[in-house]
Structure 1
Amino acid sequence: MSTTEEKVLVRVEGRLGRITLNRPRAINSLDHDMVTALRAALTAWADDDAVVAVLIDGAGERGLCAGGDIRAISASAREGDRAAAAFWRDEYLLNARISRYPKPYVAFMDGVVMGGGVGVSAHGSVRIVTERSVVGMPETTIGFVPDVGGTYLLSRAPGESGTHLALTAGSADAGDAIALGLADHFVPADRLSDLAVALTGVVSAADVADAVGRFAETAPAPTLPGLRWVDACYTADTAEEIVARLRDHGDPAAATAAATILAKSPTSVKTTLAALRRARGLPDLETVLEQEYRVSFATLSSPDLVEGIRAQVIDKDRNPKWVPDTLEGVTDEDVARHFLPAPDGPLGLADLFDDGGTR
């Protein structure tokens, strides 16, 4: 097995702190050791005057990060231990730290950026996508719910586009990622290495913006926020009504979205909708992460999480047996239990970041 040092490459080049996720065979999926290494690097550089900015990227050609190590999460759920909860606790603390980082935090969101990959990039201050970017929160496919601040980001996307992306476990290309608020700049993939070299020469935060500006180009036109049926259908109060509106709308793409939602975990779909609607009324990322921790913890006792990971990742038969297997079978009580306090208490983000996010 790879060592922690091999899985996360940490170094300083010029005045740029560089982090490379280094599990290319797994599309740089995050495990607990990697989260710990990221946190340690960011903590060390926060007060280091020799480091002006931070850059995170992923090894290999496939993407920045495909998410968390869901095989390990499945094992934790099956065995009833606390490993998954401990991983999420530290991961969400890292997501919050990134959002409040006192120096420019540049993320190369090239290739696959899913789940946990969104968490280590889309909360940064300089988020760069390419023509190869595929950004999304695929959790309803595996019986889970968008986390790592995903419900914060998607609940604040234009109209109901974030709801559509979350319930269908869909993905966004570069143009849509920028339009949805998940990214800021478009840089062609073959220019990222040159941009990284330019960033090693920065001597101030202002230099970071100048360097990115020299390489950024006009992003492809977005498509998702302009789909009229998205807002017309997803404003419904319940998942059942959303599906009904999608089926009845008349646009073939809307009908496809309905079929896609019905193939996901019914419990995950209903809980995701509730989490998004609640997140809209919460004041900041930290408060939403506290909610997501409660929801994530509750999924460990749901049969759908283990079954979804089995069907998609372990056995790969793509034929999950959800319990219950219809939206109508998921009660309000089933959804509400996901928002109860976690047994090990809150994350405590308000106290942790009262010093500016450097701890």
Structure 2
Amino acid sequence: MQHGEVIIERQGTAGIIRLNRPRALNSLTLPMIRTLTEVLDGFASESNVASVVITGEGERGFCAGGDIRALHESARAGDGLAGTFWREEFRLNHQIASYPKPYVALMDGITMGGGVGLSSHGRHRIVTERTRLAMPETGIGYVPDIGATWLLPKAPGEAGTWLGLTGLDIGADDAIYAGLADLQVASPRLGAVIDALSDLPRGSTASDVDALLQALAEPQGESRLRQNAAVIDRAFGFGSVEEILAALAAEEGEFATETRRVLLTRSPTSLKLALRLLRAGRASSSLAECLGRELGVCLQMLDNPDFFEGIRAAVIDKDRNPRWSPASVEAVPAETVERFLKPAEPPLSL
């Protein structure tokens, strides 16, 4: 069955969801989010569905995130679509995190932003040799959302801070190290994973799925984040972006130099906001608390010049040369950061 840009299948006892927007790297639209919410509700109540699998069509990616061009157009028009999108996307993220049946995400290829929300909140997260995972929001004048401020602070040391601020993409080994995925399977064997899940008996538990997937998993390789953990922890443990940049400048080696270079290309306002949200997430007691806080910031983003400039440079003009305002972290007033930290009205309902 095809519901717009989502294909729904039942194979044995597996309910299968296929994101079907491959030319757009399966980026999410509001109708797709609504379909996913409805389908997950349906599978949860069907006794003959033992597990749910979500995957992406096409050769390039699982899901590249939300359709930022559509969000940009909505923000320009002031039609409220962007706010509705975020509210319903965040509810879907929470639904996945608390899903009552084994939920298996096949994170093959590009898995970014909203794609991380569809996968890393799930119970069973599979990456492949083709996985490129990232929360790239600071590069488009935005901030990590989809509950990333709950997920990233749980990574070892300051690895999550590095991921959230730099926005750089990582592979399978780093995704597992950071706690955003569980195991790796070769991409040609993903069909075998679905077949094995479809053969599970009704009523199979998360432990049953874990055992099945572990039997199909490949040995984990070496994580670059683990290799550079000492540098990351020394530099990213500070409470301000200015201190992080100074600490990186004092470090020796290519990793620190490249990390600092990347940070200096990101929106200064986004960097300060992202760090503030990540630190608040570390002190939070639930995913719901983080999603509610993120929504408040997202709604304020609709008046943020860097949000429009970042999307212009990335997906409209594609010149990859955003002109941030202010242009440096030192020039971002503290009151600017505080202005974004307004609770959403109405609050996020979960």
Structure 2 residue aligned with 1:310: 312
Structure 2 residue aligned with 1:158: 156
Aligned-residue sequence identity (percent) comes to 47
**CA displacement, residues 45-99 of structure 1 (integer Å, 9 cap, x when unaligned):** 1121111110000001101000000001111111222100100000000000000
**CA displacement, residues 16-66 of structure 1 (integer Å, 9 cap, x when unaligned):** 111000001111000000000000000111121111110000001101000
Task: State the SS of the aligned residue for 1:106.
Answer: strand
Q: How many positions carry a matched residue from both structures?
A: 346
Task: State the SS of the aligned residue for 1:158.
Answer: coil
| Mapped pair 1:30 → 2:28 | yes
Structure 2 residue aligned with 1:221: 222
Q: Find the partner of 2:41 among 40, 43, 46.
A: 43
Amino acid at match of 1:72: A
- Whole-angstrom CA distance in 2 between matches of 1:213 and 1:157: 21
Contact map agreement 1:4 1:37 (CA 8 A) in 2: no
Gap runs ≥5 in structure 2: none
How is 1:337-356 mapped onto 2 (pairs within 5 angstroms)?
337-342=339-344, 344-349=345-350
- Whole-angstrom CA distance in 2 between matches of 1:271 and 1:119: 19
Q: Find the partner of 1:289 among 285, 288, 291.
A: 291
1:211: how far off? 2.5
Structure 1 residue aligned with 2:330: 328
- Whole-angstrom CA distance in 2 between matches of 1:79 and 1:298: 15
1:5: how far off? 1.7
- Whole-angstrom CA distance in 2 between matches of 1:337 and 1:280: 21
1:258: how far off? 1.0
- Whole-angstrom CA distance in 2 between matches of 1:318 and 1:185: 34
Contact map agreement 1:133 1:173 (CA 8 A) in 2: yes
**CA displacement, residues 144-195 of structure 1 (integer Å, 9 cap, x when unaligned):** 0000011111111111111111111112211110110000011111110111
| Mapped pair 1:189 → 2:187 | yes
Amino acid at match of 2:248: L
Structure 2 residue aligned with 1:65: 63
Structure 2 residue aligned with 1:209: 210
How is 1:109-258 mapped onto 2 (pairs within 5 angstroms)?
109-203=107-201, 204-205=204-205, 206-227=207-228, 228-258=230-260
- Whole-angstrom CA distance in 1 between matches of 2:226 and 2:98: 28
1:6: how far off? 3.7
Contact map agreement 2:4 2:32 (CA 8 A) in 1: no
CA root-mean-square deviation: 1.3
Q: Find the partner of 1:74 among 72, 92, 95.
A: 72
Task: State the SS of the aligned residue for 1:132.
Answer: coil
1:4: how far off? 7.5
Contact map agreement 1:119 1:149 (CA 8 A) in 2: yes
- Whole-angstrom CA distance in 1 between matches of 2:69 and 2:16: 28
- Whole-angstrom CA distance in 2 between matches of 1:224 and 1:214: 26
Task: State the SS of the aligned residue for 1:19.
Answer: strand
- Whole-angstrom CA distance in 1 between matches of 2:136 and 2:58: 22
Structure 1 residue aligned with 2:273: 271
Q: TM-score, normalised by structure 1?
A: 0.94
- Whole-angstrom CA distance in 2 between matches of 1:338 and 1:50: 46
Task: State the SS of the aligned residue for 1:76.
Answer: helix
- Whole-angstrom CA distance in 2 between matches of 1:106 and 1:14: 15
- Whole-angstrom CA distance in 2 between matches of 1:225 and 1:288: 26
* Most deviating of 214-223 and 26-35: 214-223
Contact map agreement 2:91 2:349 (CA 8 A) in 1: no
1:252: how far off? 2.2
Structure 2 residue aligned with 1:102: 100
Q: Find the partner of 2:18 among 11, 17, 20.
A: 20
- Whole-angstrom CA distance in 2 between matches of 1:69 and 1:55: 22
Structure 1 residue aligned with 2:87: 89
* Most deviating of 81-90 and 221-230: 221-230
Amino acid at match of 2:220: A
Amino acid at match of 1:54: V
Contact map agreement 1:4 1:33 (CA 8 A) in 2: no
Task: State the SS of the aligned residue for 2:119.
Answer: coil
* Most deviating of 264-273 and 148-157: 148-157
- Whole-angstrom CA distance in 1 between matches of 2:211 and 2:158: 34
Structure 2 residue aligned with 1:5: 3
